[in-house]
């Protein structure tokens, strides 16, 4: 199992953060498209590291087009010497249409076509095949030598791996069919991964005559810990708030339904529309918290993560939506390495 972390800070801090994570023994460092661009920090991180993998978790796919993403992926793979992972996500309709002013339609088929188009463009650049991609959402039929990067740029590294974030079965199936890995949402559980995610991935892989061999399941999973009771309680409350926020989203209802908690989504959604953020957290009791998160002292976290996810997750990160001491995680990392 590979152990990943979030690349912290903005563009000016990315290099320092990446060096610290590499020195601490992490296998991967990921950026997110929140308040800043997800690609620029990877340039800084790649220039000051040599072994840690670097990826976007996630970049918003539908805010861009396949040619743009093909260029970004190609250049970052070349600059990082083969360490880049292009992690994409669909986002939800209001963000695509109202934040990015882009078109929204049929997210799973569109994502399948986007990834297929990116791979078609890379094949043209790498192998000289004629670019003739014609789909329902994207068309790419023009490529001249002036706009074609040198195949030698990749220097034997090959094109980047592509991961997509998915929750529902349809998008998860697309991940299995077209990608090298999936980024499971932090709002997930062991039961959901075993009963929904993996079967959908296997269905997608079977469509293209592939098994799960070499395919990576990656996930930032909720972890609640502290060095004393006060810190642990503070972490619990912050994590309950985050679980409640995700649980209010209709698109994530399926995760709750697997556990028989579908009606909770109605309550959380109603409270979110009323702006009752504190009350939302109170809806999440300890049973729900302990299902979504591994809760306990640092020495408890590593063994429990291994028990729950050791046979189903290939890359594991810590989703901790609260301030914490980086030293706290060294024990967790050591335990996971030992396992």
Angle at 306 between CA 330 and CA 6, to 5 degrees: 50
Q: Note the helical H segments in the chain.
A: 14-24, 40-47, 66-79, 93-94, 107-127, 169-178, 190-192, 198-207, 229-247, 253-258, 262-273, 277-283, 286-292, 298-309, 328-338
Residue whose C-alpha is closest to residue 280's, from 262, 261, 266: 266
**CATH H-level superfamily of 2-221+297-338:** Luciferase-like domain (3.20.20.30)
End-to-end CA distance of the chain: give it in Å, rounded. 9
Backbone angles phi, psi at 304, to 5 degrees: -75, -40
Helix (H) or strand (E) holding 6: strand 2-6
Q: List the chain domain ranges.
A: 2-221+297-338
Phi-psi region of 101 (alpha: psi -120 to 50; beta: other; left: phi over 0): left
Distance of CA 50 to the CA centre of its chain: 22
Nearest to 222 by CA among 196, 199, 240, 201: 240
Task: Please report, in tens digits, the pLDDT of each residue of the chain (339 residues total).
Answer: 899 999 877 888 999 999 999 998 899 999 999 999 999 999 999 999 999 999 999 999 999 999 999 999 999 999 999 999 999 999 989 999 999 999 999 999 999 999 999 999 999 999 999 999 999 999 999 999 999 999 999 988 999 999 999 999 999 999 999 999 999 999 999 999 999 999 999 999 999 999 999 999 998 889 998 888 998 999 999 999 999 999 999 989 999 999 999 999 999 999 999 999 999 999 999 999 999 999 998 888 889 999 999 999 999 987 665 555 666 677 777 777 776
pLDDT at position 320 is: 60
């Amino acid at each position: 199992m590979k152990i990943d972390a979030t690349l912290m800070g903005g563009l000016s801090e990315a290099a320092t953060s990446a060096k610290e994570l590499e020195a601490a023994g992490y296998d991967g460092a990921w950026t997110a498209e929140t308040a800043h661009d997800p690609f620029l920090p990877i340039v800084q991180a790649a220039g000051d590291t040599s072994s840690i993998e670097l990826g976007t978790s996630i970049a918003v796919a539908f805010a861009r087009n396949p040619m743009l993403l093909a260029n970004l992926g190609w250049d970052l793979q070349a600059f990082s010497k083969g360490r880049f992972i292009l992690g994409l996500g669909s986002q939800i309709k209001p963000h695509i249409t109202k934040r990015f002013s882009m078109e929204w339609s049929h997210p799973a088929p569109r994502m399948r076509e986007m990834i297929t188009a990116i791979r078609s463009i890379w094949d043209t650049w790498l192998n000289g095949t004629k670019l003739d991609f014609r789909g329902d959402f994207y068309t790419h039929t023009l490529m001249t030598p002036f706009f074609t990067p040198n195949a030698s740029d990749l220097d034997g590294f090959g094109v980047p791996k592509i991961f997509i974030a998915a929750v529902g079965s349809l998008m998860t199936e697309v991940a299995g069919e077209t990608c090298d890995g999936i980024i499971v949402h932090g709002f997930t559980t062991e039961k959901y991964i075993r009963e929904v995610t993996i079967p959908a991935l296997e269905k997608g892989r079977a469509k293209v005559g592939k098994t799960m061999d070499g395919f990576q399941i990656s996930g930032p999973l909720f972890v609640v810990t502290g060095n004393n009771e006060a810190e642990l309680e503070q972490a619990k409350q912050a994590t309950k708030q985050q679980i409640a926020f995700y649980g209010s989203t209709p698109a994530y209802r399926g995760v709750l339904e697997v556990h028989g908690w579908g009606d909770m989504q109605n309550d959380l959604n109603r409270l979110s529309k009323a702006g009752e953020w504190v009350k939302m957290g109170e809806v999440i009791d300890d049973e729900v918290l302990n299902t979504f998160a591994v809760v306990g002292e640092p020495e408890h976290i590593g063994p429990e993560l291994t028990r729950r996810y050791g046979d189903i997750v290939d890359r594991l990160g810590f989703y901790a939506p609260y301030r914490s001491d980086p030293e706290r995680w060294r024990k967790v990392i050591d335990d996971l390495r030992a396992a």
